[in-house]
Amino acid sequence: MVNELHFDAPITPDLVQKVINEQEIRGYYDLVDQNLEALYTFQGEFEEHYPEVDNIVVIGIGGSSLGTKAIYNFLRGSQKLKRKIYFLESTDPVEIYDLIETIDLSKSHFLVISKSGTTIETISIFKCIYSRLDQKSQYFSFVTEEGSKLHQFAISIGSKTLFLPQNVGGRFSVLSNVGLLPLILVGVDIKALLDGAKSLKKEFFEGKAIQETLLKKATYIAKNYNVYHINTLFAYSETLKYFCEWYVQLWGESLGKVQQHGILNVGLTPIGLIGPKDQHSFLQLLIEGNRDKSVTFITIEDFGNGVSIPNIELPYLEDLNLVNGVDFNQLINLQAKATLLSLENVNIPVDTIVLEKIDEANIGRLLFYYQLLTSLVGILFDVNTYDQPAVEGGKKILKEMLQEIKEKG
């Protein structure tokens, strides 16, 4: 994974020191060095007891599912994974019913994932599945904070629990048991994933090239906040669709805050686009609409896949012979480059991230890169990057409504 900026910016002094200080109190930085023993033991026992399981179903929402989804969907087209992962995260009745009817519940194992253990969507869906199965304990495992109510419940039914470190927030938890447990059970190489993330961390803190790049990019984004307050990812591969969703949560929820030493509402609006599809949807707005967006292109150098456009000439369609013999891998990257040049022509700030190939190490680096960038911008914005106080209001209103319904009977 290599990042190149097509703009220049000064570097904020002291920024590295501030991240070093923060690193000591924020758990996500240490996840790359975690002990994987408990996960491998879990996996060994799982394969021994449940070899017939075909489906891993994650019951979790937001930070408990987005990271897993991003990694799984990046890898699954290129590797023969041994099981499928499904996600139950919405309270949409059509969606829940659809999954219950589609998969064989008896060949499924459910991972109930919730940091606090009291997420209303997660517990509601869990109750719905739980009530449909006999001999319950074997179908469920849990990921939550040690000692949470959900942990105590898991003990009471004799199910296993893996823990979430206490100082790791939901949207920074992808490289904890939250992401690693479902991924290891379908055959993802979680060691390679963590090593990818670790390589990025190491290079940054050792002052390699990526340090300067990240510091410049963070400074540029923060300094130009009043002009470019929408940050667009333009990823040229369908495999990165859910990575974009993970990014939207990370960026939006971390930076959309009231400042710590002021009363200003600040924030950056994240948008995820997939090329070339969204050239036919969003590009017109990028080029001719209000100039409030920066764009980061993500491309994959080698898709490891040789589908090419056959060398055939079709009557009346001779104008398009120029794609003959080109492989799609080359075409999609040329499309990214052409789009980038068309944005540069109108002075839109762009940068590029190139992933060498579709594997665990590359997505590990990319995830850590974005977590670090978010932390850096959070420091420059003077916000608490790791909380989400504003979402509590709606939850409280919902509980009151439910209470009222209960009381009315």
Task: Report, as residue numbers or ranges, the catalytic residues.
Answer: 253, 280, 395
Among 2, 20, 209, 338, binds a second copy (CB under 8 A): 338
Binding to a second copy, residues 110-139 (CB under 8 A): 117-118, 120-121, 123-124, 127-128, 130-131
Q: Which of 31, 39, 150, 186 binds a second copy (CB under 8 A)?
A: 150
Q: Which is nearer to a second copy, 213 or 333 (CB)?
A: 333
201 by Cβ neighbours in 10 Å (0-12 / 13-18 / 19+) ranks as buried
Q: Which is nearer to a second copy, 121 or 189 (CB)?
A: 121
Which residues in the 294-333 window bind a second copy by CB under 8 A?
303, 305-307, 309-310, 312, 314-317, 319-320, 322-324, 326-329, 331-332
Q: Whole-number minimum distance, CB 209 to a second copy, in Å?
A: 28
Least distance in angstroms from the C-beta of 213 to a second copy: 25
Candidate list 95, 189, 203, 301; residue touching a second copy; CB under 8 A: 95
Half-sphere exposure of 329 toward its Cβ, with a 13 Å CA cutoff? 12
The verdict on 347 binding a second copy (CB under 8 A) reads no
188 near 71, Cβ under 8 Å? Answer: yes
Site string for a second copy, 26-65 (x = CB under 8 A): -----------------------------------xxx--
Q: Tell me the site size for a second copy, rule CB under 8 A.
A: 118
> Alpha helix (H) ranges present in 224-297?
241-255, 283-288
Q: Taking Cα atoms as reference points, which of 60, 62, 61, 83 lies closest to residue 72?
A: 83
Calculate ∠ Cα 302-305-311, nearest 5°.
Answer: 110
389 binds a second copy (CB under 8 A): yes
Q: Which of 63, 43, 288, 211 is nearest to 141 (CA)?
A: 43
CB 367, min distance to a second copy, A: 16
Q: Are strands 160-163 and 140-144 parallel, antiparallel or unpaired?
A: parallel
Binding residue for a second copy, selected from 20, 209, 227, 402, defined by CB under 8 A:
402
Name which of 61 and 175 has its Cβ closer to a second copy: 61
92 lines the binding site for a second copy (CB under 8 A): yes
| Gap between the Cα atoms of 212 and 214, Å rounded | 6
Contact status: 227 vs a second copy (CB under 8 A): no
φ/ψ of residue 56, rounded to 5? -100, 125
Number of H helices, E strands in the chain: 14, 12
Contact present, 108 and 57 (Cβ < 8 Å): yes
How would you list the strands of the sheet with 2-5, edge to edge?
2-5, 350-357, 293-302, 230-235, 269-274
Nearer to a second copy, 20 or 326 (CB): 326
Q: What is the dihedral of CA 311, 314, 319, 320, to 10 degrees?
A: -50
Least distance in angstroms from the C-beta of 61 to a second copy:
5
Residues 220-254 as b or e (16 or more Cβ within 10 Å = b): bbbeebeebeebbbbbbbebbbbbbbbbbbbbbbb
Q: Is 2 in the site for a second copy (CB under 8 A)?
A: no
For a second copy, the closer CB: 11 or 287: 287
Residue span binding a second copy (CB under 8 A) among the ranges 2-10, 43-51, 210-218, 334-342: 334-342
Segment 274 to 293, residues that bind a second copy, using CB under 8 A: 274, 276-277, 279-293
Of 44-52, 185-193, 252-260, 359-367, the segment contacting a second copy by CB under 8 A is 252-260
First to last CA, the chain: 58
DSSP 8-state symbol, 312: -
For position 8 contacting a second copy by CB under 8 A, the verdict is no
